[in-house]
Structure 1
């Protein structure tokens, strides 16, 4: 008897107790799914719901299995109950419902569900799949779906516009837009990083530094933020903060192209030229980048500052080859040659792909055309203006302000107005700024009076532009494009090219650009015409055909895009 009790006790100690809870049935359901036993999986998930009826995930699992078994209507009933009774924030249920409706060929209901998902879901877990479904619905319903917003991409469109403003050198406008974006999207770190850069470009370093610190509070490892902060520390000569940060950046080896470029330029600005040179050489091996003349300038600059003069000369010569119209590589190559011949002291070479400000002023003085529209719209040149205004000596600042009188756009007006608010600025500088502002405002008043008819006996009539407003160079652009595209026998395609160019001229009016550079405008027209006709092309391919640089084609194509919104048409 005692032996039987002892054996029973031993057997009892070997029994593993089973806890029947939601996790137990969840694991059983997953195993059943792996074996394609959907009926068992449905029962097990149903049991999980019984143990945890308030857990929306369990209900969604039930709905998922029902959908796999073809019970799309039943699946949607469960999903609707989740949203209405358990967790209204479970917005992915709308995506699941849209799939069920599509499988039932109820495309109108599927459209409503997918629109609700896109407009209410802030995570965007199924964003790509939702976009694919939108394509399906476009085909099935034969009409585009009306969509007011995509919540998970909130601020993205505005951010892209702000980046465009930065690229165009419209820094004050970029600041205004980016400030609004970060207020409404506090965790949008890319926008906050770009806001810091915009502050930096206009010389507001304290604001730039604070903005970067806000980025790093949310993401301490943000490489763009760390690089920008290091540059700000150097600007303040704060070596205590800079040195440990510099050491961390020195041992960082980025994988992504964008991060590598950011680190390379940062190390160059910080005077770590050997590391910058190594990073730039890695970038030159990338086929997507090695056509960019500015990258060869950066590499040449790093090489020169390392004492690698043969490499520097080779890179600048290559930059001239792919961007023959630019004076930048030619200028620095001449600086190198004069230094090697002992005619000058070792020059200070900037990583920026533009001429030193003093050299720009000298060339504009010698040029009969002075400061052209193309110069005014160049973002690198505009940034050098703002930089010189904040950090140049008195003579340089006065030259900048004098140049601003020729530009006289809204950006200049905002910069000069901000300058007048600087308490420690020289009064001579403020007086010069005030005079230029008065001139800009007087021109604006004259324009307003003309348009309103104030004090003017005749009316200021705005009319549609006619063919008389375009000179012969306009038709030459079209003729050259058609000649290069070889559409002599295709009247329809000829008409498409002509219509696109006419649209650009009409929408540009009365600010129609000068068309003296026929080849560049023809290349830009061919680029967008090819895109419209579904023909694959790149700036580089078009540039080679016209004997231009890719950057030139890109610049003129962007001008057309800013007027005609070509990117939106071509996806």
Structure 2
């Protein structure tokens, strides 16, 4: 891990003190941040590279990195709560909730806030709306309000996506002591719902709890979770930080060609490769 941090120090020194026009540095910063699990910083550096070098040599690789990160904002994919629509709701209610997603995509956050508050008033037990409202408050720059809102919910209901969300928001706001409390809760939790388990795994990965995240990803794989591209990317990040890159290089010829971990999609491939090795070598099942 130290080599990536040192590399970033050098890259930032080049930009700030030698030649700020060496825009390729932002691409390499984005890679390093991704390997370190600093996904928000990786996204920011990647977007800056694209803005400064729209036709640069690394444009394709940067687009690929952004696609894998899939971090539009805190909770963009972890807290979409598609599964929450399984609850018995009227068609009109569901359509209005889905309309909120479009408001968010259009950055019409005030309209999204208004509609979510109406939905919560109409159905106080529909907890997915609470998570979406907290997300909107964060996007409006009202992160402390979002944290307080989720804390009030969690005092009356143990809603796993809200635990994940408040941990990430507290981390973003720099409340380290409170983050530790909720991280411990996430490490101990074992949701029955697989989508909630994925939220736990992804959150732990983003908070730097890679070993616990890896166990959760292994559990999901063993229980036939629907694995998509971003799943393998985060699986790979967790595996990389737990030392599985070296094991993979030693045990599987399928890792040839990407052993040096120099490109962002290697974490994605590592995630897939760890899954392959789990099948081949019967990796220990995550205990519950």
Relative to the length of structure 1, the TM-score reads 0.27
Structure with larger Rg? 1
Give the TM-score normalised by structure 2: 0.50
The structure with higher relative contact order (CA 8 Å, sep 6+) is 2
